[in-house]
Chains A and B, each alone.
Chain A
């Protein structure tokens, strides 16, 4: 597509439920990133996929968080047993090979009640 697409744009869930957030990167972009944006905390790196390499999961805050990228394209971020502190905007970005910046999606605003 023309840009990075994320769905849903908003998600309200009850504490303890599992959620799945989807990211569709720009076609041809080999790298895909997930970040979490919280008020006062800036952008917190979560996970990074690059081609067929093993993902860099060093930013995932707990084992309740996981992500997949199927076929080198669409990615799904899963949060199990959601907690109130998981409430944030989850941003996805993709980039093409080379030393350039990212293109960000519009994010998924997750609210855990």
Chain B
């Protein structure tokens, strides 16, 4: 079964501090992992995909198959990073649906 776990419901950091949002997954094959973000009063949007190996808004995430993790990191958090973050997994073959974690609400304090 596919499962995504985000252990922190809430995460609070100060501006300029490093931030790491944790994501662990359960999947027997080779998954695709995504991070989605929802800013206040905005729609859910794609932040980054592990396949792209890109950095968006200073965020990066590395897929660690040994630890089955896909943690989202940013070295210096900004107030505008405050949002709800969802980790998501899509398996290979069969259904293309995404399985989401329950989300982590990040608050960056001034």
Question: A113 interface residue, CB < 8 Å from B?
Answer: no
Contact yes or no, B96 A50, CB < 8 A: yes
**In the assembled complex, which residues on chain B have CB atoms less than 8 Å from the CB atom of A99?**
32, 51, 90
**In the assembled complex, which residues on chain A have CB atoms less than 8 Å from the CB atom of B74?**
none
Stretch at the interface among B13-21, B42-50, B63-71: B42-50
Report which B residues bind A (CB closer than 8 A). 6, 9, 32, 34, 36, 43-46, 49, 51, 86, 88, 90, 95-103
Contact yes or no, B9 A107, CB < 8 A: no
Question: A71 interface residue, CB < 8 Å from B?
Answer: no
Contact yes or no, A102 B9, CB < 8 A: no
**In the assembled complex, which residues on chain A have CB atoms less than 8 Å from the CB atom of B88?**
43
- Per the CB 8 Å criterion, the residue count for chain A at the interface is 24
**In the assembled complex, which residues on chain A have CB atoms less than 8 Å from the CB atom of B43?**
104-107
Task: Give Cα distance in the complex from A106 to B44, angstroms.
Answer: 8
Report which A residues bind B (CB closer than 8 A). 31, 33, 35, 40-43, 45, 48, 50, 56, 59, 91, 93, 95, 99-107
Contact yes or no, B102 A42, CB < 8 A: yes
Contact yes or no, A48 B96, CB < 8 A: yes
Task: Give Cα distance in the complex from A26 to B49, angstroms.
Answer: 21
Q: Which residue of A lies closest to B104 (CB)?
A: A42
**In the assembled complex, which residues on chain A have CB atoms less than 8 Å from the CB atom of B90?**
99
Task: Give Cα distance in the complex from A59 to B99, angstroms.
Answer: 11
Determine which of A33, A101, A106 lies in contact with B46 in the assembled complex, contact meaning CB atoms within 8 Å: A101
Contact yes or no, A45 B99, CB < 8 A: yes
Identify 9 new A-B residue pairs, CB closer than 8 A, beyond the known A45-B99, A105-B43. Answer: A33-B98, A35-B100, A42-B102, A42-B103, A45-B97, A56-B97, A95-B96, A101-B36, A101-B98
